[in-house]
Structure 1
Amino acid sequence: MDDATRVLIVDDDRFVRMLLKDALSDGGYHFTEASDGEEALEKLKADPQDVVLLDLFMPKMSGIEALTEIQRIAPGQKVLVISSLDSDALVAQALQSGAAGFIQKPFHPLEIQAAVKKALSA
C-alpha cells in the first residue's frame, strides 16, 4: 500500500486544479480531483483523503454545503477552503463549518504548501 498523503482537489476550474497539483508536486502527494461538491463527496466516500482543498464557489453545490456534508460523512476531515473572495463573514462561515484553513485566490505555491503541511500536522 502506498503511504503517500492523499489530497482531494475540488474546483470547477481545471486550470486551478492543475495549479494546485503543481504547487504540491514535490511533496510526494497522491492526488484525486473533483469538479464539484457532489463529485467530491462521491470520491471521499469511496476513498478517504488526508486533506481536501475545496473551492467555495462551484456549480451544483456550494463549497460551504460541500464542507458541511464532508464534515457529516467524515467528521474531523481536514479541509482547506479556497476562494477569490476575502470576506470576513465568508471566512468565519467556512471556519465555523469545519474548515481547517482559508486560502485566497490568487495563491502562491508556497502558501498552498504551508497550508497543507499545517493542516496535516494539526
Structure 2
Amino acid sequence: MERISFCPTLAAPLNKSEVASSRNDKSQWKTKENRPCLMVVGNDSAAAGTLKEALGEWGYDVVAARNGWEALVLAGRRPVDGMLVDMDMPIMDGRTMLSELRWLGHQMPVLIMSNESDEQVHPQLLMEGAQGFVLKPPHFQSLQQTCRKGFAK
C-alpha cells in the first residue's frame, strides 16, 4: 500500500502521485506578467495581508494559506515558486508542514517566519529543508533582500 502521509493531523490524505501530476501542469497558473508566485502561510490575516501587499509590490504573485494543512492542499493544486511559512500555526505548524511538503516531493524554497531566533532550531530546520529564516515582525527592507536571495531561481 502506498504511504499517503506520516502526519497524523491530516484528516484527508494527500497522495504523492496526484500531487506530482497536478504540480507538473503549470500552464494553467501562469500570469500575464509571468511573475514568480509565492505562498504566505500563517494564521494572522492582518500580517498575511501586509505581506501579500509588500510582495506584490516587489514583483511577486501571492497566494495565502491559513495553516500548514491548507498550504499543502494549495501546493498540490497550484505550483508556487517559494513559501514564507509561519512557525506557529494551528492545525499544522510550520515544521510539520515543511516535513510533509518535502515528503510529498515539493522542492520550492521555504523561508520560515518566527518570533524567536532560536539558534538551536535553525540549523535543524535547514537540515529539514528550509532555506532561511525571517524574524517576526519583519523589517521590510531586509525581508525584500531575503526574498530576493531565498527565491532566486
TM range (shorter): over 0.9
Residue 106 of structure 1 is matched in structure 2 by 137
Aligned to 2:113: 82
Residues 2-38 of structure 1, C-alpha deviation per residue, up to 9 Å, x if partnerless? Answer: 2111010000100110121132232221111000000
SS where residue 9 of structure 1 aligns? strand
Alignment check: 8 A CA contact 2:55 2:61 kept? no
Work out whether 1:35 is the aligned partner of 2:66: yes
TM-score (norm 1): 0.92
SS at match of 2:120: helix
TM-aligned CA distance change 1:83 to 1:96, over 3 Å: same
Long gaps (5+) in structure 2? 1-29
Of 90, 93, 97, which aligns to 2:128? 97
RMSD: 1.3
Q: C-alpha separation between the residues in 2 aligned to 1:38 and 1:75?
A: 14
Kindly provide the amino acid, as one letter, of the partner of residue 122 in structure 2: V
Residue aligned with 2:137, SS: coil
The 1-side partners of 2:62 and 2:105 are apart by 18
Q: Which amino acid aligns with 2:45?
A: R
Per-residue deviation at 1:93? 2.2
Runs (4+) of structure 1 exceeding 2 A deviation are: none
- Structure 1 portions without partners, runs of 5+: none
Determine the C-alpha separation between the residues in 2 that align with 1:74 and 1:14.
28
Query: % of aligned pairs identical?
Result: 30
- Worse-superposed segment, 55-64 or 18-27: 18-27
Larger RCO (alpha carbons 8 Å, 6+ apart): 1
Question: Does 2:47 match 1:20?
Answer: no
